[in-house]
Structure 1
């Protein structure tokens, strides 16, 4: 039987093969083993004018299922938690090819960077339809050495949280690209959350939204973990009138009660989609519309309305007119590591 490139069927086969190869390279995610990289910015659409190139961005609410999410996680001495961290992300129902992961490793004393590379290479060497869009690892030390048994002491919190804010800002500015519609801040030691969490938080359609984070206890008891999700009260606002501008308020410490209404103390039986406005947030798992960060809301490393880091971010976002809400009934769980 002779074979001819001129036959109609063979032409079709060649066209289909070319389409497949081009699609493979277009959708193929990448992993960067480098500490930092420069990237060519990509935008949804652009048009030329006499004054130069102008960009128009897609309305986030038009097609949320195709939104690209940047997952950001600062790390230090994180080796014990990486297996579960990647397992949970890989089990989410949100398409992996729409998720980009970026990490900042700082002041670590273990082989977190090497383990990150190992996990990333394993995940990104799978079939292309099951890979993440990309995985990037950045490294910057802040010369901050605090033993684990000291990390939650009251007197250490302003300095510790200030360094954490610098770390988040460095990671955000290094990793945020124009293609992302959402930024998800995910702690490495969160050990349980629903696989639909990205879709569920996006469905809230708020600028900043957080679930309710509890402690993962062996006895299954309801025990608060993330106390940084809170509402101001009349009493808490009255307390602040007499404080110095640089005084940092902290939640969950007997040394200085704030009298705020914590989300971990709110009713949890009103439905998973029940929303409450918040004035402060943590970042165990926080979904942010990317334009909130692009417009300048970041994590203050200095006292901002008596807050730093994530709670300062919430105060800043609200001052700029963005919505900040929590979902008291939507429970996730953090490991008991202190």
Structure 2
């Protein structure tokens, strides 16, 4: 806040900055239009103007960022079914009124990019090393399945590629509300995998509902309360029907494309109650590796501050714009195993005793979160450790 005597008021400063920005844009636009129209060459007016429109669009984005017109933090108002955006950069207020305190946060909000930078191979080898040991812990792999009949054969091949002792692995597939032949294929897969693993179950979960449709419909932000509440219920029912004497539960989504054959050994080597790898994807257009599971994150002072102002029923969602949080892949500078506050379910290892002591996937809003992220919040309230391994990568389809 500006308090020095004779200093320009904050409102005046903002108006001056806005006018200056507009004058700058108009000047650049006029110059570019003149150049575009009078450059020699066999180009039509439209072809000459196209670079100008792109240039102005880029300047417009920059102007919006400077003036705080970009959405950075959103929550779903579960009472009224509205999505509430908080479109302000650090150093600005949560409303259009009032003055800023220009607080400096511990995370650079300019970092919106979800591209995962390549790692030096020698560093990756060091961070992926774990001591060789004889394993005796029993692991239960659980996967909720829904309309995935075409993905299940690949999923089964991926499980067969695991190098963890097979006699220590059990598998549970929980199907509900599918409109294809997912359950029939799951039964066939279960019979085949039973020859390889200790126990394999294919269970129909007697729940209805869920979100049906294409990818855009399923991931629409306004359907996430219903969708993830349903998924949390499916996970809890599958856990209750499958868990027996196992030491660990490994949740694996059926649409995972690939994971390291030693993924179980890698995650167990962290020696934590709850641990996740980085879930990434390959961008088909650029070829870059990008963060897929943006439910795996660490809170910052800014993200916690904004949650404090929310009504208790609001659901905070990630993946629908830039974030105030730090995603797991961006924590590689801290080492092999790093503390987290939120986890996704792409691949998620949980000590079975945590579940036995009451840790579940909330199917209602819990501390502004639900399902896997809600589980992480609940786990921390129960004093369980929540961690991630940023160098271990699982590739999503």
TM tier, shorter chain? 0.7 to 0.9
Contact 1:214 1:225 survives alignment (8 Å): yes
CA distance in 1, matches of 2:134, 2:314: 40
CA distance in 2, matches of 1:105, 1:196: 27
Question: Which stretches in structure 2 are left out of the alignment for 5+ residues?
Answer: 1-132
Which has the higher Rg, Structure 1 or Structure 2?
A: 2
Q: Match for 1:143 among 209, 213, 219?
A: 209
Structure 2 match to 1:203: 269
After superposition, residues 145-224 of structure 1 pair within 5 angstroms as 145-148=211-214, 149-177=216-244, 179-218=245-284, 220-224=287-291
Structure 1 match to 2:169: 99
Structure 1 residue 83 displacement after superposition: 1.4
Q: Match for 2:328 among 263, 274, 286?
A: 263
After superposition, residues 1-338 of structure 1 pair within 5 angstroms as 65-124=135-194, 126=195, 131-139=196-204, 140-148=206-214, 149-177=216-244, 179-218=245-284, 220-254=287-321, 258-267=323-332, 274-335=336-397
Structure 1 residue 258 displacement after superposition: 4.8
Q: What RMSD, in angstroms, separates the aligned Cα atoms of the two structures?
A: 1.6
CA distance in 2, matches of 1:213, 1:173: 26
Question: Which stretches in structure 1 are left out of the alignment for 5+ residues?
Answer: 1-62
Task: Output the TM-score relative to the length of structure 1.
Answer: 0.74
Task: Output the TM-score relative to the length of structure 2.
Answer: 0.64
CA deviation vs aligned residue, 1:71-101 (integer Å, no higher than 9, x gap)? 1100100112111111111111111111111
CA distance in 2, matches of 1:246, 1:270: 34
Contact 2:211 2:218 survives alignment (8 Å): no
Structure 1 residue 275 displacement after superposition: 1.1
Contact 1:187 1:285 survives alignment (8 Å): yes
Contact 1:249 1:258 survives alignment (8 Å): no
CA deviation vs aligned residue, 1:245-289 (integer Å, no higher than 9, x gap)? 0100000113xx65111113333x776xx1111100001010111
Contact 1:99 1:133 survives alignment (8 Å): yes
CA distance in 2, matches of 1:93, 1:289: 20
Matched residue of 2:344: which SS?
Answer: coil
Matched residue of 1:79: which SS?
Answer: coil
CA distance in 2, matches of 1:221, 1:71: 30
Structure 1 residue 64 displacement after superposition: 6.8
Structure 1 residue 145 displacement after superposition: 4.1
* Count, aligned residues: 262
CA distance in 2, matches of 1:326, 1:145: 29
Distance 1:321 1:270, change over 3 A: closer
